[in-house]
Amino acid sequence: MAGFRGTDEQLDREISQVERIARLRLVRAAAEMRALDRDLRELKRERARRRAESAVESSAPVGAETVV
């Protein structure tokens, strides 16, 4: 980054502005990560449910009929 050519006050304002932008981006990224983590947990739960369901079906004796 090139040297800042403004006054000390402008430099302080610029620093404050960049800090605000950084904090906002961190908050947004954290929220996105929480949403992704939640979606991942739901997908893993679904995969576990399907595997358990599949294991129950495959362990059923051959020729056994399900009463509906």
Asked whether residue 24 is assigned to any structural domain, the reply reads: yes
Give the 3-state secondary structure of residue 24.
helix
pLDDT of 50 over the 70 cut: yes
Asked whether residue 42 is assigned to any structural domain, the reply reads: yes
Confidence of residue 59 (pLDDT cuts 50, 70, 90): confident
CA angle 31, 35, 41 (to 5 degrees): 140
The token duo for 23 is: 């904090």
Per-position b or e across 36-59, b if 16+ CB within 10 A of its CB? eeeeeeeeeeeeeeeeeeeeeeee
Asked whether residue 29 is assigned to any structural domain, the reply reads: yes
Number of domains in the chain: 1
Asked whether residue 25 is assigned to any structural domain, the reply reads: yes
Lowest mean pLDDT among 45-49, 52-56, 57-61: 57-61
Asked whether residue 61 is assigned to any structural domain, the reply reads: no
Asked whether residue 60 is assigned to any structural domain, the reply reads: no
Asked whether residue 19 is assigned to any structural domain, the reply reads: yes
Cβ atoms of 4 and 14 within 8 Å: the answer is yes
Confidence of residue 65 (pLDDT cuts 50, 70, 90): low
Asked whether residue 14 is assigned to any structural domain, the reply reads: yes
